[in-house]
């Protein structure tokens, strides 16, 4: 696991309220594809990064079925979409400590790594501080005038988008700083 804790979703975090179902083609000019996950106790919000690594897009919300079944679904999607990086939101406590929810994400990562390894899937796993990602997602959906019922059904996917966008931006900033 590569630990990434270089930024967080704060009060100014922004995300688009769009929800795409088609994730992308299989062209030879594809660059690195990324998958963002907001792992909760009941659902996992999913978002994909574009092939250029610029924009994260909310995809869907997966109703949890247990670590093993969830890991199989993620591995299947990683293979189907040629994902090279998985970014999981790490729900740290407000003071930065690792609490119960963050330990649950670590446990899920252990199961996911076993599943990916058993299927010979090579993918980088990165953690991203997800504090305030749900608040940023809620604000984005409110600004887009999304109804309360629709917000509830999409909030985790948009939170995954906020998490992934933060990581993509940090990767791009690292590349630009090294030029």
More confident residue, 49 or 17: 49
User: What pLDDT was estimated at residue 21?
Assistant: 30
CA distances from 154 to 13, 121, 176 (A): 17, 29, 33
pLDDT in tens, 40-75: 999 999 999 998 889 999 999 999 999 999 999 999
Question: Is the pLDDT confidence value at 109 over 60?
Answer: yes
Across 142-156, average pLDDT: 76
Q: What is the pTM of this model?
A: 0.78
Is pLDDT at 11 greater than 70 in this prediction?
A: no
pLDDT at 161: 94
pLDDT-based confidence at residue 8 (cuts at 50, 70, 90)? very low
pLDDT > 80? residue 157: yes
């Amino acid at each position: 696991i590569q630990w990434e804790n270089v930024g967080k979703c704060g009060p100014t975090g922004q995300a688009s309220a769009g929800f795409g179902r088609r994730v992308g083609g299989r062209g030879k000019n594809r660059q690195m594809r990324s998958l963002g996950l907001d792992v909760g106790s009941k659902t996992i919000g999913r978002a994909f990064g574009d092939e250029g690594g610029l924009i994260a897009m909310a995809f869907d919300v997966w109703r949890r079925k247990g670590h093993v079944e969830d890991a199989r679904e993620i591995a299947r999607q990683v293979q189907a979409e040629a994902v090279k990086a998985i970014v999981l939101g790490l729900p740290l406590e407000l003071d930065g400590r690792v609490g119960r929810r963050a330990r649950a994400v670590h446990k899920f990562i252990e199961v996911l790594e076993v599943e990916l390894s058993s299927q010979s899937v090579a993918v980088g796993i990165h953690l991203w501080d997800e504090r305030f990602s749900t608040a940023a997602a809620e604000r984005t959906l409110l600004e887009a005038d999304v109804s309360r019922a629709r917000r509830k059904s999409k909030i985790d996917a948009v939170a995954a988008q906020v998490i992934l966008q933060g990581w993509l931006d940090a990767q791009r900033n690292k590349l630009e700083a090294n030029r």
